[in-house]
Amino acid sequence: MVGIISLVTGRPGPSGFGSASTAEQVTQGIDASNLTAIITGGASGIGLETARVLALRKVHVIIGARNMESAKEAKQVILHENESARVDILKLDLCSINSVRTFVDNFIALSLPLNILINNAGVMFCPFQKTEDGIEMQFATNHLGHFLLTNLLLDKMKQTAKETGIEGRIINLSSIAHVYTYEEGIRFDNINEEDGYSDKKAYGQSKLANILHAKELSRRLQGSPIFMQEFEGNKARAG
Ligand SMILES: NC(=O)c1ccc[n+]([C@@H]2O[C@H](COP(=O)([O-])OP(=O)(O)OC[C@H]3O[C@@H](n4cnc5c(N)ncnc54)[C@H](OP(=O)(O)O)[C@@H]3O)[C@@H](O)[C@H]2O)c1
Ligand SMILES: *[C@@H]1O[C@H](CO)[C@@H](O)[C@H](O)[C@@H]1NC(C)=O
Ligand SMILES: *[C@@H]1O[C@H](CO)[C@@H](O)[C@H](O)[C@H]1NC(C)=O
Ligand SMILES: *[C@@H]1O[C@H](CO)[C@@H](O)[C@H](O)[C@H]1NC(C)=O
């Protein structure tokens, strides 16, 4: 994670890149034609730019999107740059447990490897709302949906890493907003209560959950060929 000063100034970190670096700069010269990646929410925003640049570096990109119309448009944007780019779209609504399971079934049925999972999709500051599963919307979409998705794909990722000898990567988009959450951090006892709900704090809570989960999963994956990384999104620099 980059510190707030570096985030704002764009000052490069130890890698030589910072928040002012573009995806094209960071991946310059990389031939990733042996890699397959899933990007959630890859039909718009930071996710689309991520999908576009990975495809530019020859990654086989699978966009998970709830809106298939915008996903088709995103695919066209990528194919417009290179008609041979490998891009597939699959329906994925992260706020539905059912949809996450169906997405994974559909992906597994493709018999593709999986090297990279980018947990990017997110909703921000929405009014109190419960999902079909009865869970508060921001926590369900930003954290729980990705939690389930990651767990369901983990065996596939381990298998790919083993077979190809290439380390896997799981990337979650968190936010500096993780510091602005409820007093108790995560409201484990009343995640789904409308009482005391704050759209901002619920967003911060979901982004804090992303980080906590990244840290724990990363601890559990020690010694396995998959790395966890967390990032703070920064739309201003996405281009
Ligand atoms: N923008 C920033 O400055 C910033 C800062 C910090 C962190 N972040 C994080 O970066 C990530 C991407 O943000 P962004 O700025 O690119 O946001 P965005 O432009 O709103 O894009 C979010 C993407 O997530 C998708 N999405 C939302 N709910 C979904 C669901 N239930 N199932 C599947 N997909 C869903 C959206 O699909 P639709 O097109 O259908 O809505 C959209 O493609 C988020 O996790 C966000 O928290 C962003
Ligand atoms: C990424 O995705 C999900 C949950 O958000 C988890 O399965 C992982 O542990 C992970 N970490 C983060 C950053 O949440
Ligand atoms: C892709 O994999 C093949 C087979 O393992 C290997 O020969 C080739 O060098 C790899 N390409 C790149 C760019 O890493
Ligand atoms: C277009 O994409 C394909 C598949 O990733 C790749 O093999 C080819 O080199 C790309 N062409 C250019 C000009 O980048």
Q: What is the pLDDT along the chain (239 residues), one digit of tens a residue?
A: 557 777 788 888 888 998 899 999 999 999 999 999 999 999 999 999 999 999 999 999 999 999 999 999 999 999 999 999 999 999 999 999 999 999 999 999 999 999 999 999 999 999 999 999 999 999 999 999 999 999 999 999 999 999 999 999 999 888 889 999 999 999 999 999 999 999 999 999 999 999 998 999 989 988 887 766 666 654 433 22
Given this model, what pLDDT does residue 232 score? 64
Q: Sign of the CA dihedral 12, 224, 56, 110?
A: negative
Task: With 0.85 as the threshold, say if the pTM is over it.
Answer: yes
Residue nearest to atom 5 of ligand 4 (CA): 58
* Fold classification of 31-235 (topology level): Rossmann fold (3.40.50)
Residue nearest to atom 48 of ligand 1 (CA): 233
Given this model, what pLDDT does residue 11 score? 87
Residue nearest to atom 7 of ligand 3 (CA): 34
Q: From CA 58, how far away is CA 161, in angstroms rounded?
A: 18
Domain residue spans in the chain? 31-235
Given this model, what pLDDT does residue 238 score? 28
Known active-site residue 203: no
Counting ligands in written order, the one closest to the CA of 67 is 1
Given this model, what pLDDT does residue 59 score? 98
Q: From CA 136, how far away is CA 40, in angstroms rounded?
A: 19
Name the token pair of 53: 């640049």
- Residue 117 pairs with which residues in a beta bridge? 38, 170
| Cβ atoms within 10 Å, residue 69 | 9
Q: How far is the CA of 34 from the centre of ligand 3 (A)?
A: 6
Q: What is the DSSP letter of 12?
A: -
